[in-house]
Amino acid sequence: MNEFILNAEVRSDLGKGASRRLRRLASLVPAVVYGGDKAPESISMLAKEIAKLLENDAAYSHIISLNVGGTKQNVIIKALQRHPAKGHVLHADFVRVVAGQKLTAIVPVHFVGEEAPVKKGGEVSHVVAEIEVTCLPKDLPEFIEVDLSAMEIGDIIHLSDIKAPKGVEFVALVHGDDKAVANVHAPRVAPEAEEGAAE
């Protein structure tokens, strides 16, 4: 189990202009920590440090030990704002993790068994790459596994078809939204094949 640690400093210079200055002059990323029983806290962290953390996919759905000026607190990533062209993080939101208090997090989906429907001539489409879950901190999964091996052409896997890990609920299902997660469809006919038929 990886331990994710991120160092940050308290930020007193607030506002859009201040955030831009941080990013431009100091290569820092502004962020806010919410939740728990405390007031929101404005912080900043080194851009290269958060980029390094996010190289590991598991960081998105793991509890991170956030060290703010020597005081540690457990948080999860709530939202990231990225540069539209360059992809680097412009702003981050974290939520404090309180033991015994449920949290909501975005967890990546890992698809397995994809070869089986492909061998039958199907094409697999992944409709979602992540699922929003709610659970206690101790039950937070690193990823949700979705097995596609039994799928046939025309099949769709919905959220309700996936067995949630123990203690974990899918937020969309709680709200009555049983969304599609993946489907298998017949391959689209290649243009050359159509031309051959026409001759």
**Which amino acid type is present at position 1?**
M
pLDDT band at 86 (very low <50, low <70, confident <90, very high): confident
The pLDDT score that the predictor gives to residue 14 is: 64
Question: How many folded domains does the chain comprise?
Answer: 2
DSSP code, position 62 = S
Could you tell me the residue range of the domain that residue 84 belongs to? 5-97
Distance separating alpha carbons of residues 177 and 160, to the nearest angstrom = 9
Q: What is the pTM of this model?
A: 0.73
CATH number of the structural domain spanning residue 52: 2.40.240.10
- State residue 160 phi and psi, 5-degree precision: -70, -15
10 lies in the same domain as 87: yes
46-78 tens-digit pLDDT:
999 999 999 988 888 889 999 998 999 999 998
Helices (H), the chain: 16-26, 47-54, 115-119, 171-174, 191-198
Neighbours of 190 (CB within 10 A): 9
Query: Once rounded to an integer, what is the mean pLDDT over residues 142-161?
Result: 94
In a domain, 193, yes or no: no
pLDDT tens string 87-140: 888 999 999 999 888 988 888 899 999 999 999 899 999 999 999 999 998 899
Query: How far does CA 118 lie from the centroid of its chain?
Result: 27
pLDDT, residue 193, reads: 47
Q: Is residue 198 part of a domain?
A: no
Residue 199 has pLDDT above 60, yes or no: no
Residue 133, class by beta-carbon neighbours within 10 Å (0-12 exposed, 13-18 middle, 19+ buried)?
buried
Q: How far apart are CA 199 and CA 185, in angstroms?
A: 27
Domain membership of residue 79 (yes or no) is yes
